[in-house]
């Protein structure tokens, strides 16, 4: 059985690694990995393959950056060629990136069944490219694997009830699998002279924040007001936009420490030892919950409402007063119910895809 996996961006490497491992226990499965090249810097791509021991991609498309149409269109053209040559029994796509959209569109036109992992998430904000990618991918998919019950409810509201499986979150599998090993391997705390629970971790990469000078400025000003030092691993685009909007003057480097994008092991280590995490990333909001670190989300809405309802995550938007206030009043809730399942999502997904074993 040929399973064709399409990946291209950082969080997809992490998710795919876990399913890839689970698929290995099925000798009849031949997984073919296509890397679109949406993320191409060594720190955004290669280091994840090395640490996660992800098999080398069978195809590397080298698409790189561009406008949404350009990037997605180029991917579509290349994926169609590969899918036609390989004739897979199914195509697996992850999350909500342009690589996800291209993978599902190409497969659907070739009548190849599609499995969407991390299905059913909604921000209800169609201005986000990710929201468009998710909605389209969900409606094209044949298996919809939801990380949480609320994701399945979103699908139900849009008329999708069949082949919807709540498996828990595959990123939780990865956190459980790699956390202690990452802690042993990573030297990031020493490298950055950080002591446990005595710094904040921030990440900013969403277009809505990086491409709007007012929002980016307000977030940086918010971080400057915080009592402890903030480590800011910077996505290449964020760095470029800070330069373009001439926002470097806001940053006092003794207070905000900008560093290169971090590897998965360094991220897990620096995140689990942070006092508070401030982020606009979907993945890091979840990882904060999984690692039991309070999170402030630098967006006006989130797809991960369970983390908000349990008190672990609070929305501050791009408002400097809110950012400072939310961090100051931050507390650690007593309970963290298993909103992302039991850490066995990959096994369940593989069982359903290969044998049709469904528990729900």
Q: Which residues bind ligand UD1 (CB under 6 A)?
A: 9-11, 38-41, 44, 65, 96-98, 129-130, 205, 236-237
**Residues contacting 291, CB < 8 A, separation 6+:** 175, 179, 268, 271, 272
Least distance (Å) between residue 340 CB and ligand UD1: 18
Is 139 marked active-site? no
CA 308 – CA 21 distance, rounded (Å): 31
- Residue closer to ligand UD1 (CB basis): 50 or 357: 50
Least distance (Å) between residue 327 CB and ligand UD1: 23
Output the six-digit token pair for 78: 């290349």
- Residue closer to ligand UD1 (CB basis): 113 or 236: 236
Least distance (Å) between residue 12 CB and ligand UD1: 8
Residue 30 host element (H or E): strand 30-35
CA 319 – CA 55 distance, rounded (Å): 42
- Residue closer to ligand UD1 (CB basis): 64 or 333: 64
- Residue closer to ligand UD1 (CB basis): 95 or 351: 95
Query: Taking Cα atoms as reference points, which of 119, 140, 121 lies closest to residue 76?
Result: 140
Q: Looking at 205, 235, 255, 331, which residue is catalytic?
A: 205
Least distance (Å) between residue 125 CB and ligand UD1: 13
Least distance (Å) between residue 207 CB and ligand UD1: 6
- Residue closer to ligand UD1 (CB basis): 97 or 302: 97
Buried b / exposed e across 252-262, counting CB within 10 Å, b at 16+? eeeebbbeebb
**Beta-bridge partner residues of 296:** 278, 314
Contact by Cβ (8 Å): 80, 108: no
- Residue closer to ligand UD1 (CB basis): 244 or 342: 244
CA 175 – CA 74 distance, rounded (Å): 33
Least distance (Å) between residue 41 CB and ligand UD1: 4
CA 149 – CA 171 distance, rounded (Å): 16
Helix extents (H) in 110-169: 129-140, 149-157
Query: Taking Cα atoms as reference points, which of 354, 339, 351, 336 lies closest to residue 152?
Result: 339
Q: Which residues belong to the active site?
A: 205
């Amino acid at each position: 059985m040929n399973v064709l996996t399409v990946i291209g961006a950082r969080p997809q490497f992490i998710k795919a690694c876990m399913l890839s491992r689970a698929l290995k226990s099925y000798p009849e499965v031949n997984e073919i990995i296509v890397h679109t090249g949406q993320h191409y810097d060594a720190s955004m791509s290669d280091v994840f393959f090395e640490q996660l021991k992800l098999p080398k991609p069978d195809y590397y498309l080298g698409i790189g950056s561009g406008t949404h149409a350009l990037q997605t269109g180029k991917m579509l053209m290349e994926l169609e060629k590969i899918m036609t040559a390989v004739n897979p029994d199914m195509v697996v796509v992850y999350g909500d990136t342009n690589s996800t959209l291209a993978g599902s569109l190409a497969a659907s036109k070739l009548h190849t069944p599609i499995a969407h992992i991390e299905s059913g998430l909604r921000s209800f904000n169609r201005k986000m490219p990710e929201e468009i990618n998710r909605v389209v991918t969900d409606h094209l998919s044949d298996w919809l694997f939801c990380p949480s019950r609320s994701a399945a409810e979103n699908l139900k509201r849009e008329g999708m009830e069949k082949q919807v499986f709540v498996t828990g979150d595959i990123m939780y599998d990865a956190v459980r699998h790699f956390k202690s090993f990452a802690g042993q391997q990573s030297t990031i705390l020493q490298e950055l002279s950080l002591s446990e629970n005595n710094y904040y971790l921030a990440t900013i990469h969403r277009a809505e924040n990086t491409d709007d000078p007012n929002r980016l400025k307000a977030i940086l000003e918010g971080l400057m007001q915080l009592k402890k030092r903030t480590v800011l691993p910077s996505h290449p685009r964020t760095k470029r936009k800070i330069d373009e909007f001439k926002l470097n003057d806001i940053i006092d480097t003794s207070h905000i420490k900008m560093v290169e994008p971090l590897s998965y092991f360094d991220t897990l280590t620096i995140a689990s030892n942070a006092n508070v995490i401030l982020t606009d990333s979907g993945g890091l909001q979840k990882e904060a919950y999984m690692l039991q670190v309070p999170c402030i989300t630098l967006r006006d809405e989130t797809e991960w409402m369970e983390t908000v309802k349990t008190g672990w995550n609070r929305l501050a938007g791009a408002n400097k007063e809110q950012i400072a206030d939310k961090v100051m009043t931050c507390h650690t809730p007593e309970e963290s119910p298993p909103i992302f399942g039991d850490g066995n999502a990959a096994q369940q997904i593989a069982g359903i895809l290969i044998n049709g074993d469904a528990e729900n």
